[in-house]
Amino acid sequence: MTNDVPMLDEQDLVDLSVGCTVLAGGGGGDPRIGLLMALNAVRRTGPVQLVDLTSLCLDDMLVSAGMIGAPTVMVEKIPNGNEGDVIRAALEARLGRPIVALMPMEMGGLNGMLPVAWAAHARLPLVDGDFMGRAFPELQMCTPHLYDIPSWPAVVVDERSQVLTFEPRDNVWLERLARTAVSALGGCACAGLYPMDARTAATPLLRGTVSKAVSIGRTIRTAIDDPFRALDAQVGLYPLLTGKVIDVDRRTAGGFVQGSAIVEGIEEDAGRLVRIEFQNENLVAMEDGEALATVPDIITLLDRHSAHGIVTEHIRYGQRVVVGVFRAPDQWRSERGLATVGPRAFGYDLDYVPVEDRHARVG
């Protein structure tokens, strides 16, 4: 492993938390909790090494980790901070091999931040990448699933350090079993899954997503005039509507936050209504019964003034927002990717149309 690597300091963590809200597509949980945990960790142990996968030996074991369950629950049912150590110890005991690096399982919200805190506590590096490139609600909705890479052994741990280890028949069954267990644990818990060596991770890993999120946050923070144009230059923004949230229907069921939000157009979009439907993450944006955008493209509500992303549990009546869409990573646009995370995977009788074929960029 090389020592000449970037380090995530306190300002980087603040920028990372903002970038995670933009990339999350509304999901991944409230990043503020993860940010506070990560800041506390690096103040105690120092900055976290951010490493490219190629800096690891091919046989080095890594694990993706984060929160699973309903993000609204974790706002009050906060992790104790030791979950990462418990996950790592349980997996090392099961695998008989040390875990030498951690990584986010998704690049969104709280789940982009928690692995940073856990890596700091363990004094381990954080791999610059993840298995979603955004956030998705189910555990099989990770890129290793597209290549038949198993998600197990997988470990679920709650804030009481109760540990459950799963070795199911396939990745879909892990989702079913773990979701049931998480509901019994109070609606949310933390997990480590898809343990693999660096050689195996090279295929499914979406590289550079942590540094991308940091760069997004930095770009928004340092934008002199228009943060939306700065964001567009960074990631390519397709704005659907500038509006005001006039209705939110949100409920917690089955380990998910489910519901919808209606945004009424303002400014040049006055007279329009767009409905956003979500299951932890924003799934579709509809206007007059027609789809404006669908998963796997990243549908994000952005604060009208700051361009920060708004996670689904923070959508409130009266918020001024821009409904924006970003292009999904290419792996999700493949035939198997769409079968796993396209609109029909969530029960919508809709064909996926790439965002760039529907809309023009902000610039």
**pLDDT digits 0-9 by tens, 313-339:** 899 999 999 999 999 999 999 999 999
Contact between 25 and 355 (Cβ < 8 Å): no
List, in order, residues 6 or more apart from 92 with CB less than 8 Å away: 98, 99
pLDDT score, position 1 = 38
**CA separation for the pair 91, 75 (Å, rounded):** 27
Contact between 230 and 245 (Cβ < 8 Å): no
Q: Domain 7-209 sits in which CATH superfamily?
A: CV3147-like domain (3.40.1610.10)
What residue ranges of the chain have pLDDT lower than 70? 1-5, 361-363
pLDDT score, position 3 = 39
What is the torsion angle, in degrees rounded to the nearest 10, for the CA atoms of residue 172, residue 177, residue 182 and residue 187? 70
Report the first-to-last Cα separation within the chain, whole angstroms: 41
pLDDT score, position 184 = 93
**CATH classification number, 228-357, choose in 2.40.390.10, 1.10.3720.10, 2.40.50.100, 3.30.1150.10:** 2.40.390.10
Domain boundaries, the chain: 7-209, 228-357
Q: Where are the alpha helices (DSSP H) in the chain?
A: 10-23, 31-45, 71-74, 83-95, 114-122, 171-184, 198-201, 209-222, 227-235, 335-341, 355-358
Assigned token pair, 94? 């099961």
Angle, CA 34 vertex, CA 127 and CA 341 arms, to 5°: 65
Per-residue burial over 290-301, b = 16 or more CB atoms within 10 Å of its CB, e = otherwise? ebbbbbbbbbbb
- Is the pTM value of this prediction over 0.85? yes
Q: List the one residue out of 30, 239, 61, 36 whose CA is nearest residue 153.
A: 61
**CA separation for the pair 330, 238 (Å, rounded):** 17
Same fold across 7-209 and 228-357? no
Q: List the one residue out of 295, 288, 273 whose CA is nearest residue 350.
A: 295
